[in-house]
Amino acid sequence: MSHFTVLVINNETDDVEYDLAPFSENVEKGDDFAEFISDGTIKHFEDEWKNGVEKDNYSDVEEYISDYYGYDIHNGEVGYWGNPNAKWDWYQIGGRWAGEIVIKDDIDINVFAPNFSYGWSEEEKIKMMSKPKRVTDQAQAKYIDWKYMFNQEDKRNYHNRFWELFIEEQEPITDEDKEMIKHIWYDKEYFTETYKDKETYVKCMTSFSTFAVLLDGKWIGKGDMGWFGISSESADEDLNWQLNFYDNFIKDIDPNAYVTVVDCHI
């Protein structure tokens, strides 16, 4: 079970459900994106039922298939209705990544407040809303401060210092230094293998990117997300994705396109 970010870009509508629907895991027989996924033939299950310990508990193979496995029968095959293109089973606009979109300073428009998920503390919410720049989860591309989002100078000192403390093993001087390296999920090898050096690490940490992008109805991801936040991309694929995110997805974006950050779960 994992959470990950998806940037939904649509030139016509701000309705992210329209773009996300083809990739939903929550489908049933008759749904637009449902396909029958076979797990074997009736003959296979019939042999299993007749020769197994469950034979006396079911009157026939159809009942065995339905009640024991919860499967359906379709065109002589046994299986279930699912979406072979499924990427998510639940989503929320913003969520764990609420407030990732930054609005230009000179733009006078109303924007939705960040849609915080339950995990945000009141202190964290206040800190987010107290930033000098306005933040939201959805806006048209022409109102977004892309220049800032791909060069977040206010984060540079923090990430520079983190690399010095954790990777270069400099001695912590302040309480803030000690707190910075108190709880680290990854070991040093993760950072050095993925980012190679401090300059590249800081560039990635001060630039915007998401795990996947939904662009013109096409799902583009740096990898496939599995359980517990473990995804399939290599360290080099991860780095290339982050370094080229602007050129690949933002540089030529339609100014009128609706851009939304979505917290997806699988």
Adjacent-strand bridge partners of 88: 24
d(CA 108, CA 96): 27
Phi then psi for residue 147, to 5 deg, are: -60, -45
Q: How does pLDDT run across 174-210, given as a tens digit for each residue?
A: 999 999 999 998 999 999 999 999 999 999 999 999 9
Query: In this prediction, what percent of the chain has a pLDDT beyond 90?
Result: 88
Could you tell me the CA-to-CA distances from 35 to 4, 13, 43, 52, 66 in Å, in that order? 25, 27, 21, 30, 18
Distance, CA of 6 to chain centre? 5
Element (H, E) at 241: helix 235-243
- Distant-in-sequence, close-in-space partners of 251: CB < 8 Å, separation ≥ 6: none
Q: How does pLDDT run across 67-119, given as a tens digit for each residue?
A: 999 999 999 899 999 999 999 999 999 999 999 999 999 888 888 999 999 99
**Res. 4 pLDDT band, cuts 50 70 90:** very high
d(CA 246, CA 239): 13
d(CA 163, CA 254): 36
Section 3-11 average pLDDT:
97
Q: Which long-range contacts (CB under 8 A, 24 or more apart) does 248-251 make?
A: 249/7, 249/9, 249/213, 249/215, 249/220, 250/141, 250/146, 250/150
Paired tokens of 100: 């990732």
Residue-range domain boundaries for the chain: 3-22+88-265, 35-82
Section 44-69 average pLDDT:
91
Distance, CA of 10 to chain centre? 17
Section 1-12 average pLDDT:
94
Phi then psi for residue 16, to 5 deg, are: -70, -20
Of 190, 200, 196, 189, whose CA–CA distance to 229 is shortest? 190
**Are the CB atoms for 168 and 223 separated by under 8 Å?**
no
**Are the CB atoms for 33 and 21 separated by under 8 Å?**
yes
Q: Which amino acid is at 10?
A: N
